Structure 1
């Protein structure tokens, strides 16, 4: 989790970069929208952004500025919190649509909180209660996701199936239904995320391609274009990734396992 506040005098318009998580933006400001796309479509209020959402931007300009709580959930956890990660893949929906009336009550509690730490505690409590009330993923699917993250996407589907003791067909089917992406697409997303953060850290594209397991620099270029629509040079300068380095510095160095504590950072 991370808390963000942008003062009124400076508007915000930040392109999102695909990340191997489902992202929740709890809108704590008085603005009319927080997430919008290139065509001008806007999602007002608190929003859930699914995996590989496409051309989306975070921002706006309001009299009181922008203030929001950003929560990242691995797709393994998102399935338990929201009940249907597949329905969220590639989509943007309002928090109320997936949380129901509890969304409004949670927003009120977060707005009334006296500090970011109190907000983090409230959010963690709400998420914990929702997770405990819903069935978890198949252990094999959860294990496949952990292996995918720990290998930074450099793992074959056949190897994943062998590791969890399933056939390739069964793993494909169950992973797709519970995570929201096929195993191959999910591995590509995880590998891209690692490469994007290396680019943002200033590493040369050729070195990033080699370290991330791409065939060559052209292969890296194609994957970056596929996930972002822009070149590796543009991704390297993306403000979204610069925010990541401040809000989740540990996760940029190594993938966080799903059972490790979340980061809690406030930014102004």
Structure 2
């Protein structure tokens, strides 16, 4: 009986000790776990912020490299265009285009004044001779484009000559040639319609000028000039205004 009491008392003491131990260490254990979780969360947040910063830096670097690449392309374009031979060739070509355009306009004025006439053959020959004189500074593309207009002018003059009154009896297809002659005249004049037929503007003087501008690269040089001025202004503004960021 006494022994049982002693055992029961010992059990009670042991249970009390265990309860005390649990009460002491469990909060400490959970507190430590909380600190670890908090550290993990803080570390993750710091990693995310760092990754976002690195991504932004990479984006800025990529934009800067692209900007430098564009500037390099522009610089190479100007360096190439500024070489002595390129400058000389371009200047000669511009001079040829100006002379050709002037003679072509003068020829058309005379043709419009006289109407379809045999003199158109002489005007075409003058244009062809001028083109031959500048053959060293012209291009294959330009020659092909201008020759179309010269051929149309010569054909009209030839038809006018063949359908003259002195050859009327010897030209069986005179009516057909007259129709073609006036059709060419309307095409060169850019009238748009002949005898109820809608004409293209391929042979109109405006098309000739467009072809010359295209071979000269007039529109492209204008775009290049605008881009150069724009970038120069952006560089100036960036250097003068702190925190300025160009918008594109």
How does the TM-score come out when normalised to structure 1? 0.23
How does the TM-score come out when normalised to structure 2? 0.25
Name whichever structure is richer in strand by fraction: 1
* Larger Rg over CA atoms: 2
Relative contact order (alpha carbons < 8 A, sep ≥ 6): 1 or 2 greater? Answer: 1
